[in-house]
Structure 1
């Protein structure tokens, strides 16, 4: 009897990680009716972290009113573990880019104040560990807003361990820093980028003068993540920054899930060179390599001009291969789920032949 583990990320703008796993499971069972199928919907630790945790672990949801990126009040949701000790949250719930309409986006004004309020809320509820995804920010304040909120809430020097899911290695400031690399994506003009970079430098100086950091900390890997929030988490909360997908795989007990598996199937909306830089399929691949388990990559789109994906995975295939319909049709959830199911069913039915190649 075959054991197949399905470990998908969402196909952004199309289907969720859970929907991808369910469609894939239908395909596997069409080919191998008696297969043991284990579904592990995943996130890379950015947006989607809380949803992933909710699906895999017993938690309760919490909603709290906080200040959004432009200081409008928003309702931010996060999850707390069954024992009440760990909070799982995303900075984007309080300070995310999606909370700001395109015409109002302005990283000169956007703040992480609400992130601090969300953390303070969790601490006051008794949480002693916070796992935070720090992707999708609207901000470039270096985490200054978060620090101000924690001060206002009298939670800055709290007894709480913070683990941040971070998949960028940019420093706080400079040409590879938060302002120059990420602020343009948040609506900053070239002149505003220079202003923001200057603010980040000034914040680092103030932090150093306060005895919270050494000058080297601003150049730590991940300090520039989420508009510099990574820096404030390191300096003021002594946080640990880790690969988001590794955090998620540990949370869901992935190593135990793949024990004795014959095959692992993973995928995402589009796979390319970026996939091998900390995305869900690569995190899955690394764990499976250690256990000597073959991994197939099935994604909506495949861009493998360099051939590195084909070299890394046992099989690489687009679920839309041979489907000539327009992208707008292929992106429809029902179409994507059907194509994924049919692709998996065909490939699994030919598993032995593919394995020999």
Structure 2
């Protein structure tokens, strides 16, 4: 049997390649004659660089950067075929903060600027920036500061970290040093920077913003958009309203101001991993993510895999940490059946503590169901 294993990460526990490996080990322990193809996946968020490195090879360049609170953090630039790939979540990720530390008023995108500076020094002429999973809501102000275009107040003093400080932004001092590289913003978020569907309103609460914070941050991002339009040469008109400007707390808007084009992170990974060819050759698809919920049905990676499998008449099984989607809703999305680590173990705590062991056990059960062991 030809089985395509193409999961997303299990946030907080396993990367996508680790999930794929655990599923393959479990299946292979029962049905060794099956042909297993691993295609770990990601969108523009956490795991973007790791998945692309698995698919493309290339060179991973370590970079010292900072986290959303300015503390030292480890990042990297992937250099493959003359293109550099960086991931905003390595420096700006919500997963880098403890729950009590989450505060988009203070969180900064400065660390992403350090990653971009390293990418520009790598010799690549194109830099692809994966956007998603950020703790920030500063409109990319910190990133610009790290690149040499610092937001300052009316006295010329550089502003402190965080979105709230942009209330005092008078102008940008300096120009972003990017050596003429071509920028690509990889995101599947199409939210504008401001307004009801903007970065602050839609994503602010999950980053720790109160209702009052949301209103404040939305207002300062609107102010900052006007600064970008005035002070960044070549900034496209109406940058605040461009689809994707609200990605990663508004980093999308700053990248667009610097001339970035927008591409789907999922489509980019899909192309790099050869997912479509692998789907064409499969008898069964196994995909998954940490939580298969109703957001999963709204265009997220797993639902895209299920839809692609349905187009080819291939059964698609979802394995997740938790499943909160009903059988009928899952079926309508192209999912044949679902399995969860929480159901397997009987508790969230054990599912979080032993995810690889649980995935191997679930995959072995699937192999007994869908294939026959040798002998």
Into which bin does the TM-score normalised by the smaller protein fall? 0.7 to 0.9
Q: 2:285 aligns with which of 264, 267, 270?
A: 264
Rounded to whole Å, the distance in 2 between the matches of 1:143 and 1:175 is: 19
Q: 1:26 to 1:96 in 2, by over 3 A?
A: closer
Identify if the C-alpha distance between structure 1 residues 74 and 28 changes in structure 2 by more than 3 Å, giving closer, same or farther: closer
Shift of 1:112: 1.6
Alignment of 1:156-167 (within 5 A): 156=177, 158-167=179-188
Q: Give the C-alpha shift of residue 201 in structure 1.
A: 0.6
Q: Cα distance, 1:202 vs. partner?
A: 0.8
Corresponding position of 1:353: none
**Other structure's SS at 1:278 match:** coil
Could you tell me which residue of structure 2 aligns to residue 355 of structure 1?
A: none
Q: Partner residue of 1:304? A: 325
- The answer on 1:137 being equivalent to 2:134 is yes
Give the 3-state SS of the residue equivalent to 1:268 in structure 2: strand
Q: What's the TM-score once normalised by structure 1's chain length?
A: 0.86
Q: Deviations over 1:17-43 (max 9, x none)?
A: 233323332444455442211111222
CA distance in 2, matches of 1:112, 1:324: 38
Superposition CA RMSD, Å: 2.8
Shift of the alpha carbon at 1:212?
4.0
Pairs within 5 Å for 1:58-73: 58-73=57-72
Q: Provide the rounded CA distance (Å) in 2 between the counterparts of 1:306 and 1:263.
A: 19
Moved more, 25-34 or 310-319: 25-34
- Which position in structure 1 is the counterpart of 2:349? 328
Alignment partners' CA distance in 1, 2:342 and 2:207: 34
Q: CA deviation at 1:266?
A: 1.2
Q: Deviations over 1:26-74 (max 9, x none)?
A: 4444554422111112223310111212222212221223344333443
Aligned residue for 2:180, secondary structure, equals: coil
Measured in 1, the distance between the counterparts of 2:176 and 2:346 equals: 54
Maintained 8 Å contact 2:27/2:360: no
In the superposition, the TM-score normalised over structure 2's length comes to: 0.82
CA spacing shift, 1:315–1:344, aligned 2, 3 Å: same
Matched residue, 2:244: 222
Q: Which ranges in structure 2 are unaligned for 5 or more consecutive residues?
A: 150-173
Where in structure 1 are there 5+ consecutive unaligned residues? 351-357
Counterpart contact for 1:87–1:122, Cα < 8 Å: yes
Distance 2:324 2:98 in 1: 31
Q: Per the alignment, do residues 343 and 14 of structure 1 end up closer, same or farther by CA in structure 2, a change over 3 Å counting?
A: farther
Cα distance in structure 2, aligned partners of 1:192 and 1:302: 32
